[in-house]
Amino acid sequence: MSKNRKIVIIGAGHVGSHCAYALAIQGICEEIVLLDVDNVKAESHAMDVADCVCFLGSSVIVRTGAYEDCKDADIVVISAGVPRLPGQTRLDTLGASMECMKEILSHLKKIEIPGIIITISNPADIIANYIRKEMGLPRNRVFSTGTSLDTARMKRTVGDLCKVDTHSVVGFVLGEHGDSSMIPFSHLTICGKDYKELKQEDATRYGALLEEKILERTHLRGMDIINGKGSTEFGIGYVLADMAKAVLLDEHRVLPASVLLEGEYGQKGVHAGVPCVIGRSGIEQVIQLKLTEEEQAQFEASCNIIRKYMENEIEAR
């Protein structure tokens, strides 16, 4: 490992550059290295983020580099790929994303990577599974941000509907980082209280918390952003920075991540978003929520959709 906390970001587009910015702003590491097939773009983003550092309390180094930088990186972030177009699902990007991953793996396979690999590229669950298998690394060291962003959007939806700060909303989105994700409403609380109890006690404030509406808005928020400006970038940048912080500071914090399931939630051989304890070694534990029968069926249905596209990934190799 590097003497400094070092993060390499492969793919310096909208998402990769905002990951670098979020990491720099929060002072999470001492060195950020940007890699991209378009080296001029990567260098320009690195210089732009480095300018911000002049106004921060930290002295993080932001630069471009080469795949050799992964040899002593604490975290390698894979954010390369193609953006979703209006009307596309994340799963629609599989073919183009696979071509990017093949190119990246042609370099990474030549390197012994000692750190953690966090993937962002869509479709998130399938790409995480592909990278993990091809690199031959254990599940704790290769995972995706998964449903972390979905969870943030769910909390924001709940907060907006009842005018409560999102930090007071506790819950998770599980399954695919995409349109089949589900919300275990049996575990959704506001300030530690079951939201259904709050609805009964104060229908005026909490009556708008309808499960169908919360799930729909959670699914659509990403496409609303894409329709408006062409890409999502700020939210996922901070999702990555938050997850990197949990790793580098060994926080043992519970965050949603797309990890290989090995029997948890009754699922095997599939990456899906679930709450995990994350620390210096990556995924330390999968937290198993007790789901209702209906919720279990919804989660299984989402995993089956991921499996279907995993088969398409195998065909695309």
Contact 145, 155 (CB under 8 A): no
Give the whole-angstrom CA distance, residue 44 versus residue 266. 47
Q: If DSSP codes are grouped into helix, strand and coil, which group holds residue 128? A: helix
Number of Cα atoms under 13 Å in the Cβ half of residue 301: 12
Give the whole-angstrom CA distance, residue 61 versus residue 50. 7
CA angle 185, 188, 193 (to 5 degrees): 135
- Let me know if 177 is a catalytic residue: yes
Q: Which H or E run includes 283? A: strand 282-286
Q: What is the DSSP string of 100-119?
A: HHHHHHHHHTTS---SEEEE
Q: Among candidates 143, 147, 200, which has minimal Cα distance to 175?
A: 147
The DSSP letter of residue 12 is: -
- The one catalytic residue among 18, 45, 177, 187: 177
Residue 201 tokens read as: 């006690």
Task: Please identify every residue annotated as catalytic.
Answer: 177
